[in-house]
Amino acid sequence: MKKKLLAFGFATFILLIAACKKEQTVTEVSTSPTATVQLNFTNFIDGQAVALGLLNYSNAASNKYSVSLLKYYISNVELISKTGTVFKANNVSLIDAGSSSQNVLTMKNVPAGEYINAKFNLGIDSARNHTGVQDGYLDPSYGMIWSWNTGYIFFKHEGQFINSSKQTMPLRLHLGTDKALTPVIVPINLSINGNARKIELRFNLNKAYTNPATIDFNTDNDRQSTAAADETWIAGMKNNLNSSFNILIIE
C-alpha cells in the first residue's frame, strides 16, 4: 500500500511539474511543421541601393535629388496562403535607410502552406496613430511623431534637389495623418514547409514619386501633411506607394 501511495504521489508530482510550465503554446493538431521567416527590408532607387547624401538620383519628373534621411513605418504584415489562411505578424517596423540592423522582421511559427500574397500597411493604423504613449518603434523619441498634432509621420524623406533654376534646394517630405495610411498587397511565391526562409521586401523610392501621380519637387519639395494644400500630394503619394514594393525570395 505504501509503495502504491508513493508511486501515485510521484505521478502527481510529475504531472504538477509538467503543468507548471509557462507558455504552453496551443498543441498543434496538424503535423505540418511551422517555420521562421526572416523579412529583410531594403531600399532602392530603381536599380541601386539607396546611398545617403548623393545628389545624383533622378525621378520621373527629372528632378535630380538626394536622400539624407529615409524612414517609414511598415506595420501589420500578413502572409496570405492559396487556401486563404492568413498569418499575422502584428508588427510595427520602422525602416531606416541609414540603419543596417533595424530593417529586419523575424516572423516565427509561420504555418506550412503556399503563400501567394503579402499584405501590410505603410503607416500606422488609426487605433495606434493618436497617442505617443507607446513603446517599441512607436516611442516618440524615434522622431516619427508630430508633437503639435498627435500622430505619426508614416514616411519621411529628407534631402536636397536641384530646382528648375539649377539651384540646390532642401527637400522635406513628411507623409502622415489617417488618410495617408496605405495598404499594400504584393504577390509572393513562398512555400513554407518547416524550413527557415528568408525574403526581401524591396522599396523603390522612385516609384513613390510616379505612377499614377508624378511628383515634381519643384512644387512638392516641402510637404508636412498639415495644410489643405498638402491633400493632393497625400492622395498622390498614397496611390504611388501602393505599387512601390516588391518581394524577392532569398532562401
Partner 1 sequence: MRLLKFTFLFLISSIMVYSCKKEKPIKDLENRDPIPFNFIIPAGMPPMFIPADNPLTVEGVALGRKLFYDPVLSANNTLSCAGCHRQNFAFADSTLQFSVGITGATGTRNAPALFNLGWEKKFFWDGGAATLEDQVIGPITNPIEMHDTLTKVIAKLQKHSLYPPMFKKAFGSDSITTKLIMKAIAQFERTLISANSKYDEYKQGKIKLDEQEWNGMQLFIGEKGDCNHCHVLGSTFTDFEFRNNGLDSVFADEGRYRITLNPDDMGKFKTPTLRNIALTAPYMHDGRFKTLKEVINFYNSDFHLTATLDPNIALQKRGRLNPIEINDLIAFLNTLTDKDFVSNVNFSKP
Binding site for partner 1 (CB under 8 A): 1, 5, 8-9, 12-13, 16-17, 19-20, 130-135, 139-141, 143, 145, 147-150, 226-228, 231
Residue number with CB closer to partner 1 (193 or 226): 226
Q: How far is the CB of 228 from partner 1 (least distance, A)?
A: 6
Q: How far is the CB of 179 from partner 1 (least distance, A)?
A: 9
Q: How far is the CB of 48 from partner 1 (least distance, A)?
A: 31
Residue number with CB closer to partner 1 (29 or 227): 227
Q: How far is the CB of 133 from partner 1 (least distance, A)?
A: 5
Look at the block and give the residue holding cell 532602392: 44
**Please, which residues have CB within 8 angstroms of residue 12's CB and are 6 or more apart in sequence?**
none
Q: How far is the CB of 79 from partner 1 (least distance, A)?
A: 31
Residue number with CB closer to partner 1 (16 or 29): 16
Residue number with CB closer to partner 1 (128 or 202): 128
Residue number with CB closer to partner 1 (118 or 180): 180
